[in-house]
Amino acid sequence: MTNLMNSTSDRDRRQRNGATRGRDLYWGFTIGTLSNLVTLFIIAQAGRLPTLAISAMIVATFVFVMINSFDCMDDLKANADDMDADEAATNFGAKFRKAPWGMFKAVVTVMFGGVAVTQLGSIWGFM
């Protein structure tokens, strides 16, 4: 017995799962980006800011994006690892297996972490 998903229905299910998790990843980025744009707008308005509430939203957005992104990427990597030799030998399979998942995670962390740190710095006055 193998832990690979080799049958035709397994391949279809893997394709469907990959499409779903890819969509989840894009929606997580979209929600995180929109949330950051809203908090940036609020910060740019100056005046009397609800500092603690905005800070909580910034941290919550960062945590949500990290959990969502890492979970989706781990699922996509597991999806690639489930391919049998025939499927892995296709152009798509070879590219999917070589995807730099660690780099993707680092880029997401730097992007959304940088935004969170700079927003918090702006609110609390350390930047």
Q: Which pLDDT tens digit goes with each residue over 40-64? A: 999 998 778 889 999 999 999 999 9
Ordered by start, the domain boundaries in the chain are 8-124
Q: Which pLDDT tens digit goes with each residue over 82-123? A: 888 888 888 988 898 899 999 999 999 999 999 999 999 999
**Cβ atoms within 10 A of the Cβ of 106, count?**
11
Model confidence, pTM: 0.86
The C-alpha atoms of residue 109 and residue 70 are separated, in whole angstroms, by: 10
Phi-psi category of residue 109: left, alpha or beta, with phi > 0 → left and psi -120 to 50 → alpha? alpha
Q: Angle formed by the axes of helices 51-81 and 8-44, to 10°?
A: 160
User: Do the Cβ atoms of 74 and 42 come closer than 8 Å?
Assistant: no
